[in-house]
Structure 1
C-alpha cells in the first residue's frame, strides 16, 4: 500500500479489534441484552473500545449505554480471543464483572435487557455461552 502523503510503500497489518463484555450482577442474577443489530440474539452487554479509551472505561460506558446501569466493583475476569468468536471480524474481548443496583432498561443497540439466572439462560450469540460457563464455574467454586 502507498502512503497517501509520501507515496512510499507501507505495510498494512490486520490486527484483532479490541472489545469488552461486562457481566453485570443484579439481585443474584446477571443482565443480558437482546441485540438490535446483527448478529441478532441474546448477549452479554458490551462493545468496541473507542480510540483513546481504557478497557475499564469502555466496559462502564457500554454497561450504561445498553442497560442504563451505573456499575460498581468492576473486576477484570478473562480475555477471549478465538478468531471465530465474532462472525463480523476477529475481535479480542476483555470480560469484566461488575455489580449493578438497579434493574436493566434496554437502550442504545439493545432491544431488551433482562435478568437471568444460570438455569434459565437463553440462546446466546458470539462465544457468550462459553464465557458464561466459565463465569458460573468460577463463581460457584
Structure 2
C-alpha cells in the first residue's frame, strides 16, 4: 500500500525577516501573545497554502511593520525541531531592505527600531539576526547596528 504525502506528519513552514532600514537600523516586533509574550522578535509568520515564501515574507513584513521591502538575499533555513514550543516549525529567513511605507506596529505586535541587538529575543532569532547582519556586511549593505 502506497503512503500518501498528506498522511505524513510534517513541520509547518514559516518565514522571518531581518529588515535593514535606510538609516542602517534594524526593525523588530515585540510579541503580545505567547509563546514569548513580551519578547522582541524578527517580523515574520506562517506561509499560507499556495503562497510563495517570497510573497509570504513581503506580506508578513507589511502586516507587522507597515513597510514595503525588497528581498536582498536568503539568510538561511532554520529547522531545529524544538526551535518553536508550538511544534516543529521550519523557518526560511531573508535579508530585506526598506523600500517605502510608514513604520507602525500591528494588532499582535509593537514595533521597535534598533541600533543594537536587544538581549531578549524570541525563538532562535538571535542566531538569525546575527547571520543576517553578517550577510548584509558581505553584500555591502549599510548597517548601523552594534553587535555585542
Residue 9 of structure 2: which of 5, 14, 19 is its match? 14
Matched-pair contact (CA < 8 Å) for 1:31–1:115: yes
Return the alpha-carbon distance in structure 1 between the equivalents of residues 77 and 84 of structure 2.
14
RMSD over aligned CA atoms reads: 2.0
Matched-pair contact (CA < 8 Å) for 1:24–1:97: yes
TM-score in terms of structure 1 length: 0.83
Farther-moved stretch of structure 1 (94-103 vs 28-37): 94-103
- What's the secondary structure of 2:62's corresponding residue? helix
Question: Structure 1 residues 74, 61: closer, same or farther in 2, change over 3 A?
Answer: farther
Structure 1, residues 100-136: CA drift from partner, whole Å, max 9, x if none? Answer: 14552001421x111112x342410100011112223
Is the radius of gyration larger for structure 1 or structure 2? 1
Residue 90 of structure 1: which of 88, 91, 102 is its match? 88
After superposition, residues 1-141 of structure 1 pair within 5 angstroms as 12-26=7-21, 27-39=23-35, 40=37, 41-100=39-98, 101-102=100-101, 104-110=103-109, 112-117=110-115, 119-141=116-138
> Which segments of 5 or more consecutive residues in structure 1 lack a partner in the other structure?
1-8
TM-score in terms of structure 2 length: 0.80
- What's the secondary structure of 1:20's corresponding residue? strand
